[in-house]
Amino acid sequence: MKPNIVTELPGPRAKQILEKNAEVRYPKKRDVQYVVAKGKGMFQEDPDGNTYLDFAAGIAVLSTGSCHPRW
pLDDT one-digit tens code per residue, 24-46: 877 777 677 889 999 888 889 99
With bands split at pLDDT 50, 70 and 90, how would you rate the model's confidence at 55? confident
Confidence check: pLDDT of 48 > 90: yes
Write the DSSP symbol of residue 4: B
- Rounded-to-integer distance, Cα 22 and Cα 52, Å: 23
> Domain residue spans in the chain?
1-71
Instruction: Report the topology of domain 1-71.
Output: Aspartate Aminotransferase, domain 1 (3.90.1150)
What backbone phi and psi angles, to 5 degrees, belong to 40? -150, 120
DSSP states of 20-54 = HHHHHS-S---SS----SEEEBTEEE-TTS-EEE-
